[in-house]
Structures are given as structure tokens and as C-alpha cells.
Amino acid sequence: MDIDRNLGEQPIARIMSEHHLSPHDIVASSTEQITHKMVSRAMKGRLLTPNVQAKIVRALNTASSAAYTASDLFTY
């Protein structure tokens, strides 16, 4: 049983682009332990744990002053 962990570009990439945010902006706005690599993986569609997804959602909401949910940002 082989699980495909690369799921293609996710909506988070488009949302970040609309808000003119880079992975660095997301990491800098987070009060939690997240890395540029986590954000890049999220944008590329790499399968992330629910915990990491939640951290990225909170950081994006802080950086964009919006109220996105995990289902808005990820299609898996």
C-alpha cells in the first residue's frame, strides 16, 4: 500500500498570493514553532499532520487578518 503524499498545489498558495504573503511572512507572524519548510510543503500539497495544518492556519489568519479554516486552505 503506497500513499501518495504529494497532492498538488493547495488553495493556501493562491490565498497567500492574494494577500501578498511569502512563507517568511507566515513564519514571522506565528507565535508557534513553524518553519519555512512546513509552509512550503503546505503550498506544494505535501501531506501534513492535522497539528501542523492547524499551526499554519493560525499563522495565516494572523498574517492576513482573516478567518480561514483548514478546509479553506487544504483540499485533503
Domain ranges within the chain, ordered by starting residue: 11-73
Examine the pLDDT at 5 and tell me if it is beyond 90.
no
Mean pLDDT, residues 52-68:
96
Q: Are 21 and 60 in contact (CB under 8 A)?
A: yes
Model-level pTM?
0.87
User: What angle is formed at CA 53 by the lines to CA 52 and CA 56, rounded to 5 degrees?
Assistant: 85
Mean pLDDT of 22-33: 95
What secondary structure, in 3-state letters, does the chain show? CCCCCECCCCHHHHHHHHCCCCHHHHHHHCCCCCCHHHHHHHHHCECCCHHHHHHHHHHHHHHHCCCCCHHHHCCC
